[in-house]
A and B are shown apart, each in its own frame.
Chain A
Amino acid sequence: MRRARTFIQALLLASLLGLTASIVRADEPALLTVRAPNKGMDAAIHDLLQSIGAHNYSFVRQQSIDNRLVPQAWEAADTRIVYFCNFAQMNRALTLDARATEFLPCRVTLFQTRDGIEMVAINPAWVSERLNNPALHPDCLKLKQDYLDIMNEAAL
């Protein structure tokens, strides 16, 4: 009887800790967003590629959002995607957790607004909190900061 009670108490404590972690983790936004006012799409892409290289990432490719879904002449000019990667970082993240593919390779989506260009990326730290792998989280926090540095520099 006493063992059963101890077991239930331990279970409750573990659940409470889990709930507390859920409450704490609500701080990370799902998306990282940076505005580049008064910039056109070509200039924003150019600056983003420069910034990616300057932060030790390799450019992988850029494409319109509907690339290969419509004939090339009809592709949307107002929304583009840029993929990039740091392969050593990717290797480390995949070794820690194969689910890291939820945020790898890195992807920034750029879309035209009335005022300029908006850059959006999925926040790897937000994803990592849900994956609940403490070993992966520090890498995701660094990647989040890299995203912000890259996008903020491109927005200047």
Chain B
Amino acid sequence: MKHLAALILLLGAVEACAEPLTASHRATLREALDDITTAALNQDYQLVKVQPLDSALVKRGFDDPGIRIVFIGNPEQMRHTGKVDAHLLALLPLRLTLRHEGDVVRVSSDDLAPWAEQAANAESRQLVEAWQADLRAILDDYAQPRP
């Protein structure tokens, strides 16, 4: 009985770990955009597009959610993914969410771990795991306080 309980709790804990990666520091939204762009560049990713959900919603009469989405990518990643598993192109360019919370901007990435788990083959899995590692490095970089 004890072993069964331990197993169930362990499995529950594993599932609970499936969360997006996040990092935050004290900054204005403008500063946070600069910081995340620099952090992405340090991992050979370029900023593709900023999607200002906040102003798009406010312009249409909705409340400001304080959220912007940033898309990042690199051309080699696109080419390689097309060859390995074209369906994974649906995840690109990679997406980061910036959320303004008081004087802190929290950045989170999509949770790619489940994508790696259900990848079509080992090469696809490695590819997604590499993206996950890149996102982790970008967010670790972003988590450093501003000078």
Residues of A whose CB lies within 8 Å of any CB of B are: 8, 11-12, 15-16, 18-19, 22, 30-31, 33, 63, 65-70, 76, 79, 83, 85, 87-88, 90-91, 94-95, 98-99, 101-102, 104-105, 107, 109, 111, 113, 118, 120-122, 130
Contact = CB atoms under 8 A, between A and B. Distances in A.
Contact of A18 (B15, B89, B114, B115): B15
B89 A111 contact: yes
A104 B67 CA distance: 11
Interface of B: 5, 8-9, 11-12, 15, 18, 20, 46-49, 51, 53, 56-57, 60, 62-63, 65, 67, 69, 73-75, 78, 82, 86-87, 89-93, 95, 97, 99, 108, 110-111, 114-115, 118
Contact of B11 (A19, A70, A79, A111): A19
Q: For chain B, what secondary structure do more than half of its interface residues adopt (helix, strand, loop), or is it mixed?
A: mixed
Contacts of A31: 87, 90
Contacts of B115: 30
Nearest to B68: A101
